[in-house]
Amino acid sequence: MKNQVSFKVKSKFINKYKNGYPLIDKSAILNIDTKMREGSIINLVDEKGQFIARGYYGKQNKGIGWVLTRKKQEDINLEFFKKKLIIALNKRTKFFQDPSTTAFRVFNGEGDGIGGLIIEYFDGYYVIHWYSKGVYKFRDEVINSLKKIVEFKGIYQKKRFSEDGKYIEQDDFIMGERAATPLIVKENGVNLAIYLNEGAMVGVFLDQREVRKRVRDQYSKNKSVLNTFSYTGVFSIFAALGGAKTTTSVDLANRSLPKTIEQFNINYIDAKTQEIIVEDVFKYFKYALRKELKFDFVILDPPSFATSKNFKFSAEKDYKNLLKQAILITEDNGTILASTNCSSFNMDKFKEFIHEAFKESCVEYKILEEHTLPPDFKTMEEFKEGNYLKVVFVRKMP
Ligand code: SAH
The arithmetic mean of pLDDT across residues 31-57, rounded, is 93
| Closest protein CA for atom 9 of ligand 1 | 303
Spatial distance between the Cα atoms of 175 and 75, rounded to a whole number of angstroms: 28
Provide the 3-class DSSP secondary structure of residue 357.
helix
The arithmetic mean of pLDDT across residues 120-146, rounded, is 97
Q: Are 45 and 14 a contacting pair, CB within 8 Å?
A: no
Taking the centre of ligand 1 as the mean of its atom positions, its distance from the CA of residue 346, in whole angstroms, is 21
pLDDT at residue 242 in the model:
98
Confidence of residue 13 (pLDDT cuts 50, 70, 90): very high
The arithmetic mean of pLDDT across residues 122-135, rounded, is 97
Q: Indicate if ligand 1 lies below 6 Å from the C-beta of 231.
A: yes
Q: Indicate if ligand 1 lies below 6 Å from the C-beta of 255.
A: no
Q: Which class for 309: exposed (0-12), middle (13-18), buried (19 or more C-beta within 10 A)?
A: exposed
Percent residues over pLDDT 70 in the chain: 98
Q: Report all structural domains of the chain as residue ranges with CATH numbers, in order of start.
A: 4-69 (2.30.130.10), 78-194 (3.30.750.80), 206-396 (3.40.50.150)
Q: Are 389 and 379 a contacting pair, CB within 8 Å?
A: no
Atom of ligand 1 nearest to the CA of 205: 8
pLDDT at residue 233 in the model:
98
Q: Indicate if ligand 1 lies below 6 Å from the C-beta of 200.
A: no
Residues in the chain: 398
**pLDDT tens profile 158-195:** 999 987 656 666 889 999 999 999 999 999 999 999 99
| Closest protein CA for atom 16 of ligand 1 | 229
| Closest protein CA for atom 3 of ligand 1 | 231
Taking the centre of ligand 1 as the mean of its atom positions, its distance from the CA of residue 391, in whole angstroms, is 16
Say which range, 25-29, 202-206, 310-314, has the weakest mean pLDDT: 310-314
| Closest protein CA for atom 19 of ligand 1 | 306
List 125's β-bridge partners, or say none. 122, 154
pLDDT at residue 165 in the model:
57
pLDDT at residue 307 in the model:
84
The kind and range of the H/E element at 190 are strand 190-194
Is a pLDDT exceeding 80 seen at residue 34? no
The arithmetic mean of pLDDT across residues 233-250, rounded, is 98
Neighbour count for residue 2 (Cβ, 10 Å) = 15
Spatial distance between the Cα atoms of 283 and 295, rounded to a whole number of angstroms: 16
Q: Indicate if ligand 1 lies below 6 Å from the C-beta of 243.
A: no
**pLDDT tens profile 355-396:** 999 999 999 999 999 999 999 999 999 999 999 999 999 999
User: pTM of the entire structure?
Assistant: 0.96
- The rounded mean pLDDT for the chain is 96
Is a pLDDT exceeding 70 seen at residue 1? no
Query: Which letter, b or e, does each residue of 157-180 get, where b requires 16 or more Cβ atoms within 10 Å of its Cβ?
Result: bbbbbeeeeeeeeeebbbeeeebe
